[in-house]
Amino acid sequence: MGLAACDKLKTNGAKIQFIELDLLKPETIEKAAATVEQEYGRLDILINNAGIIDSEDGLPSKTAINAVEKAMATNFVGQLRVTQAMLPLLKQSKEASVVNVSSGLGSLKLNGEENTPYSEVKFLGYSASKAALNIMTVHFAYELRNTPIKVNSVCPGYTATDLNNNQGTQTIEEGAIETVRLALIGSDGPNGKYSDRHGSMPW
Ligand SMILES: NC(=O)c1ccc[n+]([C@@H]2O[C@H](COP(=O)([O-])OP(=O)(O)OC[C@H]3O[C@@H](n4cnc5c(N)ncnc54)[C@H](OP(=O)(O)O)[C@@H]3O)[C@@H](O)[C@H]2O)c1
């Protein structure tokens, strides 16, 4: 699938290289970081976009423990591992941006309030993993606050993709707007923030 996406972008004139990386296989993450170092010597933008909702995830009384473990391993631990592996390369950039693709379902405030689009949707493993990703954003932003590296969380919004059997109400282009905006911020851009394309999001 990655190779197919790469070929499609190439036909549009993009200079692009496919590097395989499985968040559940640490050796592929190390290998990907080594390849970027060897080929380019630095990394300007890291978008932690990959994510899953396990089909056995659900309400806290019923969710499969395995589904929670898989969501945490992929959506949080995997993204932490990638960010740690890529950090030396991000530090070689004049102004780097890390965008953690989170979800409103990871917002404690929006989950706890009644009558929000998020409060009725309960996938404990998924929401916990996105809340964990958000705290990762806050902690990296603090640790790197005196560097040119900016670290932010983004909610794409409900977007028609494989994740929700294409039930999302936004197009992929709309879902990508905030991620792309934050990927391209300079060293005077926001750090440790959480937003969607309409503005600030509550943690
Ligand atoms: N769609 C929405 O409404 C929505 C809303 C809020 C947040 N999000 C977030 O947006 C991000 C993108 O999701 P999407 O909607 O585009 O879903 P998607 O179409 O299902 O895409 C998920 C991507 O994650 C990759 N992935 C899954 N497990 C992986 C692993 N172990 N290692 C490496 N890559 C892995 C998949 O790669 P393969 O194709 O190779 O399996 C796929 O490219 C996710 O973080 C999701 O939580 C989506």
In tens, the pLDDT along 27-79 reads 999 999 999 999 999 999 999 999 999 999 999 999 999 999 999 999 999 99
In the chain, the N- to C-terminal Cα span, in Å, equals 33
Instruction: State the pLDDT at residue 135.
Output: 98
Neighbour tally for 40: CB within 10 Å: 12
Cα separation of 9 and 2, whole Å? 11
**Secondary structure (H, E, C), 74-125:** HHHHHHHHHHHHHHHHHCCCCCCEEEEECCHHHCHHHHHCCCCCCCCCCCHH
Q: Determine whether the shortest distance from the Cβ of 66 to ligand 1 is under 6 A.
A: no
| Ligand 1 atom 33 nearest Cα | 22
Q: Determine whether the shortest distance from the Cβ of 23 to ligand 1 is under 6 A.
A: yes
Q: Determine whether the shortest distance from the Cβ of 52 to ligand 1 is under 6 A.
A: yes
At 200, list the tokens: 């600030």
138 CA from centroid of ligand 1 (Å): 22
Q: Determine whether the shortest distance from the Cβ of 161 to ligand 1 is under 6 A.
A: yes
86 CA from centroid of ligand 1 (Å): 20
Spans of the chain, pLDDT less than 70: none
Q: Determine whether the shortest distance from the Cβ of 189 to ligand 1 is under 6 A.
A: no
Atom of ligand 1 nearest to the CA of 74: 31
Atom of ligand 1 nearest to the CA of 24: 31
Strand 45-48 and strand 150-154: the pairing is: unpaired
Cα separation of 141 and 153, whole Å? 10
Mutate which of 161, 164, 179 for ligand 1? The one with the most ligand atoms within 8 Å of its CB, which is 161
12 CB contacts (<8 Å, ≥6 apart)? Answer: none
CATH superfamily of domain region 44-200: NAD(P)-binding Rossmann-like Domain (3.40.50.720)
Instruction: State the pLDDT at residue 30.
Output: 98
Q: Determine whether the shortest distance from the Cβ of 103 to ligand 1 is under 6 A.
A: yes
Q: CA separation (Å) from 55 to 9, 71, 112, 179?
A: 31, 11, 23, 26
146 CA from centroid of ligand 1 (Å): 31
The domains of the chain are located at 44-200
Cα separation of 156 and 200, whole Å? 12
| Ligand 1 atom 44 nearest Cα | 51
Cα separation of 3 and 158, whole Å? 26
CB 154 within 8 A of CB 102: yes
pTM over 0.95: yes
Neighbour tally for 97: CB within 10 Å: 26
